[in-house]
Amino acid sequence: MHATREEAPSSVSSEEIARFSALADKWWDPTGPMRPLHAMNGLRIEWASRHLPLRGRKSRKPHVLDIGCGAGLASEALAKAGYDVLGLDASANGIAAAQAHLEANPLPAGSGTLHYRQGSAEELVAEHAKFDAVMALEIIEHVTDPEAFMVMLAQLVDANGTVIVSTMNRTLRSLAVGKIGAEYLLRLLPVGTHEWRKFIQPSELGRYARAAGLRMVAISGMAPGIGSWKETRDLGINYIAAFKKD
């Protein structure tokens, strides 16, 4: 699982990085190609906050790693919610856009800290980095090996820590709505954003987690609502899950 800078990190798909790097300068436009992420971000952060640890070691603020942070949409929201956050992404363009947005929009008083880093999860594993919580939002369906990726998430979280993953279920409904509808009919996402065969069923995610030493403690569906997304029991398209490392 250890990688050097000369090796291609196993979780990183160069094709996926190139695709999202090309969108970096439009990431923060709520009406642009990332508008579905803007619409669901409030729900993602609110749901995650219910399952993240309230305090880190020695009563400090919990230290949260946001893997695949893109231009920092979730990272900024987590910091504003009071967490100390490291946003990690393999895209130099994404990290540059994240840093530029943060510099132009300083965090309000009472926020946690926020730092960004370009790199891979493998690099942090090699450094023996540990976090109170690890977030992987809409990223696992884009990595080269989701089962190995879950192992890395487990390696990066402290004992009794929390891992939160959001992704898309591989169902006929997600093919119709999340792929064909969102990309080709409604143009909510750029064509090619998702590969339906790489969507992950909850049973598969649970199996990957158990093999990595993680225990699922909560799971909910996410669905578009009026003005914002809502939590639902329907896991048929988008869903979010929390895991504990025992």
Task: Enumerate the known binding-site residues for S-adenosyl-L-methionine.
Answer: 44, 68, 89, 137
DSSP 198: G
Please calculate the CA angle 82-26-68 and round it to the nearest 5 degrees: 50
Q: What residues contact 6, with CB distance under 8 A and at least 6 apart?
A: none
220, 233 in Cβ contact below 8 A?
Answer: yes
Q: How many angstroms separate the Cα of 66 from the Cα of each of 93, 138, 204? A: 17, 11, 22
Only one residue has tokens 């989701």, namely: 146
Tokens encoding 45 = 């952060």
170, 231 in Cβ contact below 8 A?
Answer: no
167, 141 in Cβ contact below 8 A?
Answer: yes
Tokens encoding 116 = 């960004």
User: How many other CB atoms are there within 10 angstroms of residue 145's CB atom?
Assistant: 14
Specify binding-site residues.
44, 68, 89, 137
